[in-house]
Amino acid sequence: MTEQVIILGTGPAGYTAAIYAARANLNPLVIEGDEPGGQLMLTTEVENFPGFPEGILGPDLMDAMKKQAERFGARFVFGQATRVDLSQRPFTVTVSDSDTYQAESLIISTGASAKLLEIPGEAELIGHGVSTCATCDGFFFKDKKVLVVGGGDSAMEEATFLTRYASEVTIVHRRDTLRASKVMQERARKNSKISWVMNVTPVEVVSENRRVSGLRVRDNRTGELMLLPADGVFVSIGHRPNTAFLAGQVETDAIGYIITKSDTTATSVEGVFACGDVADSRYRQAITAAGTGCRAAMDVERWLEARHHQESVTLV
């Protein structure tokens, strides 16, 4: 059986695409991924998604979106898209290296994963003081002491943003020089709330009663271990778009983010569309991802209509 459209990935982009595609009677098949719901499944309170004045838990928001898509007929398959063949239509999608599916069109919404330090205590405390998104979680650290780990523009932006809420922000970097642009460095250095701990390597996120209490680091010059007390640790060392499975069949930038054509979600391959963080290195918000999911489904609907019309004209 050839599907009209397969959506690869969930989260706000994939679920929204599924809602719109299902309401357009495209009967979408959604490949959920190994972590259905994406990064919001690791988030506790979401307070900046419109329509929830009291906030909503990330997993609850994702569950509601999935149920809404199912209500209109979207179908879900658990598993990771490990390979795709875009050389001819119908496209072929291999899930978890075993099952294969075919589709006239694809929506790629596999997201981008925040790079982590991969040190003890980090993974266990995500959502309990460890975060990868200041815009998402900064409000919860009002009048608290936080650390930002990183040395690029993103880390400077995160640290500057966090000064709106935190009483003290410390930038922690493993080198004695920063990778950030001079403009971003100067902006951060002029902020009286920001302090610096340079040339140290994080080795452990320390907790008390399952909440972050500090970050243990090693001085790169002396090897000495020291504890930096903090209520929160924001890891800002970059993101990795989840596009490796595409094996270069779709045009991406140097980092791996999918490039879409101007004012659309269309990719370099006709019939393949991208939405959410897999094509967005700038905003990376739930609401912006949902918006592009809507656009992708509408683009697919119009593309399929045009294709079917062209085929019918050719047959006549």
Residues annotated as catalytic (active site), given as ranges: 133, 136-137
Q: 54: which residues sit within 8 A by CB, 6+ positions away? A: none
- What are the tokens at 82? 């490990």
Amino acid letter, 87: S
What gap in Å lies between CA 127 and CA 289, rounded to an integer?
20
Q: Which residues of 124-147 are buried (b: 16+ CB within 10 A; e: fewer)?
A: ebbbebbbbbbebbbeebeebbbb
Q: How far apart are CA 6 and CA 45, in angstroms?
A: 30
Pairing mode of beta strands 194-197, 168-172 = parallel
- As given in the structure block, the two tokens for residue 38 are 């994406």
